[in-house]
Amino acid sequence: MADTAYHKFRTDRVPAPEGCPVDRVFSPFSETYVKNPYVVLEKLREQSAVFYAEELGYLVLTRMEDVAEVFRKPDVFASANVQDPVLPICAAAAEVLSAADYNPIAVLSNRARPDHSRMRKHTQAGFSSRRMQMLEPFIRRRCEALVDGMQQAGAPAEFVSAVAHPLPGETIFRFIGFPEADDKDLKDWTTNRLAFTWGKASDAEQIDIAQKMLAYWRYCVSFVKKRHLEPADDFTSELLADHAADPDDLSYREVESVIYGLSFAGHEIVSNLLSNGLINLLSTPGQWAEICKDPGLIPNAVEEVLRFNSPQTSWRRVAVKDTELAGYKIPAGTQIFLSLGSANHDAALFDDPDVFDIHRANARAHISFGRGIHFCLGNRLAILEASITLQTLVERMPSLSLVTGQTFSYFPNFTFRGPKELWLTWSA
């Protein structure tokens, strides 16, 4: 398998480091974890901050200090495994992706230095303040239209399908430059992708998702070609201009692959941020009333949501050389589960970590966007979308509340967390 393949199917499994506690039951797929990972993680953290999860074959880190150390050492703890399917993919789905023209490559999140630095330089330029400013009126307009639609349809409303899911998808598509006319297909191809890599999808679901991934890749290839011939004012055209200026520094395939990867990176996770945020703000006494009274509190409230109820509760690394961590000798090949959710609730850094507090002075010290060379490229865009959504809601629907008695259900997976449905109500 090529070293630069977008997905790799890993079968190697390195046993627990010598002397490291072994947990035989921990699994992010378990019912109790899916329901509330923070309760499970707190208990585990108390027993042993570092342990080997036998069922996963991963070393699990739960302390902020250890998670941050791993992020800081990309040449020892590589990100090569972050897009690999967590569970084996069925032969029929793998067959779909073996199509000769399905050839995206690892470009950012799972690429090592020095290639990563080269590509990051080009892509980072595209996430400039200018482009964020250009996108802001679009996000605001679409957010207002979606909120209006939800309001007009009347209470109660299901927020995920009404606002949280469509808004980030449309935002990332406009950012890339895809025309609005293609939104229906694009949404169909890019929804539920996380089930393929991080979930427990059935064979039929895997095949369906693989077919959509292939269709979406083909669309990206033809879109990049279109922009190559007719540039516009969008992120894709900027990358192509960089490619034209120095094809050795950014290849054409790299441009196609960045576009392909962004649709996932910028979509469902932001939907989860919007929904998680509303759940916490509306269920913690006084917090919604406070941001309605003073929308200036929204930026810190968004950071606190990212800390307290992150849409991404874990990420991965793999040791590429023998090393030491938290007092254990870690052999090369050890796969590591970085519990971002646990680190964000580490009492060594956050006072009363299990309290949701929009005034928390160090809320921004969370690690939900990672740290170091792979630090989330879209962090400003995600925060912008969340801020605009909250501004719109507090302005137009201050009487918003959660429909009482609902229980939230979450899609069982290794890494991401957001409710499948979120029912809201308000007074007319």
Which residues are at the interface with ligand HEM (CB under 6 A)? 71, 79, 108-109, 120, 172, 262, 265-266, 269-270, 273, 310-312, 315, 368-372, 374-378, 381-382
Q: Tokens for 210?
A: 């693989």
- In the bound complex, which residue of the shown chain has the CB atom lying closest to ligand HEM? 378
For residue 363, the minimal CB distance to ligand HEM (Å) is 14
Within 13 Å and on the Cβ side, how many CA atoms surround 120?
17
Shortest distance, position 60 Cβ to ligand HEM, whole Å: 16
Query: Smallest gap, in angstroms, from Cβ of residue 376 to ligand HEM?
Result: 3
The bridge status of strand 328-330 relative to strand 323-325 is antiparallel
- In the chain, the largest separation of any two C-alpha atoms, in whole Å, equals 63
* Nearer of residues 33 and 303 to ligand HEM, judged by Cβ: 303
Name the residue nearer to ligand HEM (CB basis): 207 or 336.
336
Nearer to ligand HEM, 192 or 211 (CB): 192
Residue positions counted in the chain:
428
Could you tell me the smallest distance in angstroms from the CB atom of residue 18 to ligand HEM?
Answer: 27
- Cα gap 369→310, rounded to integer Å: 9
Strand pairing category for 335-339 and 323-325: unpaired
Q: What is the dihedral of CA 257, 259, 264, 267, to 10 degrees?
A: 170
**Comparison of 7 and 206: residue with beta carbon closer to ligand HEM:** 7
What are residue 252's DSSP bridge partners?
none
Shorter beta-carbon distance to ligand HEM: residue 88 or 372: 372
Q: Which is nearer to ligand HEM, 9 or 375 (CB)?
A: 375
CA atoms within 13 A on the CB side of 218: 13
Give dist(CA 140, CA 145) in Å, integer.
9
